[in-house]
Every structure is written in C-alpha cells, then in structure tokens.
Amino acid sequence: MMKKRILVSLAAALTMLSAAANTLYTHEGTVKNSYNFLLYTPDSYSPGAENKMPLIVFLHGRSLSGTDLNRVRRYGSLSAIQYGRKINALVLAPQSPGEKWNPKKVNDLIDWTFANYEVDTNRVYVIGMSMGGYGTMDYVAAYPHRVTAAIAMCGGISNLNNAPKMASVPLWIIHGTDDKAVSVEKSDEVFRKLEETNKPHQTHYDRLDSVNHAMLARMFYLNETYEWLFAHTQKGKKNTIQPTFDVRKLLPAAYKGLRSNAVSMKVESGKPKAPAPAPGVEQKDSLTQTPATAAAPKDTTISAEEAKRIAAEKAAKEKAEKEAAEKLAAKKKAAAEAAAAKKKAAEEAKKKAELAKKKAAEEAAKKKAAEEARKKAEAAKWHVVKSGESQWSIANKHGITVEQLRKMNKLTDKSVIQPGQKLRVKY
C-alpha cells in the first residue's frame, strides 16, 4: 500500500514538472487605451503560489515599434531568454506603435499584471534602450514609488525638469560617446540636472568612450545586468543603489555560452487561468496591497529544517550585503587614493616644470652675459683713430710699444694713419 502511495505521489510530481514551461502570452487589446504586450512566465512560476515573482518591464527602442508583437523579441530581455539567459522573473514587454513611451499607459499594464499575476511588488524593475531609455526615465520620473531599480541605456528624458523626481530610485544610466543615434549629451543633461539639485540621488552614470549605439544592446544578454537589478529590493530596508560592474570589460563576452533558440518558449494567447480569490477576501490591486488573484491564506508553519534553511539563506544574504558594502568602501578608498596620487603627481610635475623654466632662464642669462663679455673683449682689441692721434700716442694709450702696434697693423715709421681707421692693439 505504501509503495503504491509513493508511486502515485511520484507520478503526480512528474505531471506537475512536465506541465511547467517557459510561456509567452500575447495580449492585443487586453488593456484598454494602452499598448499590446507580451508577458513571459518562467517554468518556475506557479499561479496562486505564496512566493511571488519579480517583474521586469522591458521598453524597446524605435526599431521594434509597430503592430507585430514578434518584433519585440528581436533583441532585449525576451531575446536573451530565448538565447539561454536564465531570468527568473516575469517579463512584461509592451510594443509601441511608433510613438514615444507614455508612462501612464505603461503603468496601466503594470497595474493589470499586479491584478492578474503573482508579482512581488517590492521587486519591480524597468530596463530600456534608445527610445526605451527615454521611456525608462520618463516612467521612473512619473512613478518613482513603483520602481525598485532601473537601467536606462543611450536615452534621455522628455522633460529635463522631471529629472529630480528620479532621485529616490536606484537608476543606472549608460551612454556611449560614439552614439550617432542619440547624442550622449542627452544623458549628460539628465545627470547634470540631478547633480545641480544639490539633493541626494541614487543615480550612477557610465559615460563610455568609443562605445556606439548598437553596442549597448549587449547589456540585455549579460547575466550581471539582471543580478544588478535583483540586488535591489524595497522591502525591509531603504533601497540604495548597489555596486555596478565594468560594462566595457563584460560587453565583449555578452553572448558567451548563448545560442539562438536555446530555450523553447511556449507561445499562447491571453493569460493563464488564475485561481479564484479566497472567500471573504477583498480583491485589491494597489502597489502595497495583495493582488486580486492572491490565493487563500495557507498554513505558514515551517519545520525546524526549513527554519534552518531560511536562517542560512538570511545569513548568506547578510554576508553578501556586507561583502558588497566592503567592496564599495574599498572602491571608494582606492578612488580617493588614486585622486590623491594624481594630485601629488600633478604638483610634482608643476614644480619640475617651474624648476626647468628657472634653469632655462638662468642658462639664457648666462649665455647672454658670456656673449656680451665676448663682444666687449673683442672690441677691446681695436682702436679707432681720432683726429690728432699718432702711432706713438695710440701705442702709449694701450700699453704697447710702437713696434708692436706697427707689427700688428703692418705699419712702418712712414705710414700715415687717418681718423676713423681701426687699428688692432691687442692679440
């Protein structure tokens, strides 16, 4: 009998495992006055489960706009999943028909997702590129309380005056200086505006030299991109920006280990059937309340082994946070030391340049004095004859004999000297 029960339980478990699948739901006209969209659920998602999942909102660039939802899978988070990148989260990917992203319409889709799926509202992330980079910042500025963390690549913000509204959200702005599609100055303006407000903000800006527009699409395929997003949460502590990684270093290897169509994705129309709400439980859909499809309360008693596992996970998380904080502190210390070393080197270079300048001036003065002395010495070897002077008076004036004067100038006792004539008086 016991053997039969085990076999039945095993069969049930296998049935549940086989039913789980990566699923992509297509929605056209589902949310009135908003966008058509795709919604991805990983094989680990279970409707009605107590453990709710993070939500990633992917906002595409202008090239994926239109009315064909398949275009939204050409690059970005959904494409990364198809290539084999494991992203354990729900992914909401709307499609713009061609207009810039409207924060209200995007928010309506998030509201709908909260109401129909098991979403961890403390872990909502937005990521976008180009027009999607604009959409990301516009949404963060309009609904900062809803966003746990965001990444905006090669974009900007529609209204620069709204930039300070993003200050409370961990935001990573990335832009290349060689971007010909969207000037890096657009991101410069946003970051400058945040800095000028003189209020604390949670924005990190990577301004990458020699990086063009298309190159940053690789960010969607890096595992580190999603690890950075998931490192942020709004639950239980103040949400602060976590240490970023070296984008330039990792981009070249973004596709390493990935391959086209590596993951099978089941495509269905509409949304999966959600469990009915528990009797007597009010249906709610706000950010801080339980979604309308929440399952009935379950027994939360846990075993000693489960408690031990939870404690171990908590300890590991605290250790990781401590290590991240220490790493950030070490990074800041290294930056300060590098700045101090750079300043010292600049001061030493300045002193060296001033010393070299002084030495050069001294050498020039010395050379000039030597030249003047040479000229003076050369002039002293000659005498210009004046009216009334004779060979004898000139020789006597310079302390030489008449014979020496005559020899130096090839004169005789009969030679006649004239006023203005130059005579050598010294060898």
The pLDDT score that the predictor gives to residue 237 is 61
Tell me whether domains 19-271 and 380-424 share a fold. no
CB 164 within 8 A of CB 195: no
Domain residue ranges of the chain, discontinuous segments joined by +: 19-271, 380-424
Mean pLDDT of 269-296: 38
Superfamily of domain 380-424 in CATH is LysM domain (3.10.350.10)
Task: Provide the 8-state DSSP code for 151.
Answer: E
CB 156 within 8 A of CB 134: yes
Q: Decide the pairing of beta strands 266-269 and 23-27.
A: parallel
pLDDT digits (tens, 9 = 90+) for 324-377: 888 888 999 999 999 999 999 999 999 999 999 999 999 999 999 999 998 888
Residue 89 has pLDDT above 90, yes or no: yes
* Mean pLDDT across the chain: 85
- SS3 readout for 152-210: EECCCCCCHHHHHHHCCCCEEEEEECCCCCCCCHHHHHHHHHHHHCCCCCCEEEEEECC
Mean pLDDT of 51-63: 95
pTM: 0.61
Separation CA 57–CA 143 (nearest Å): 13
| CA distances, 134 to each of 122, 175, 211, 298 (Å) | 23, 12, 19, 42
pLDDT digits (tens, 9 = 90+) for 130-166: 999 999 999 999 999 999 999 999 999 999 999 999 9
> Which residue shows structure tokens 């009216």?
387
Architecture of domain 19-271: 3-Layer(aba) Sandwich (3.40)
The pLDDT score that the predictor gives to residue 310 is 63
How many CB atoms lie under 10 A from the CB of residue 96?
23
Residue 208 has pLDDT above 80, yes or no: yes
The pLDDT score that the predictor gives to residue 48 is 79
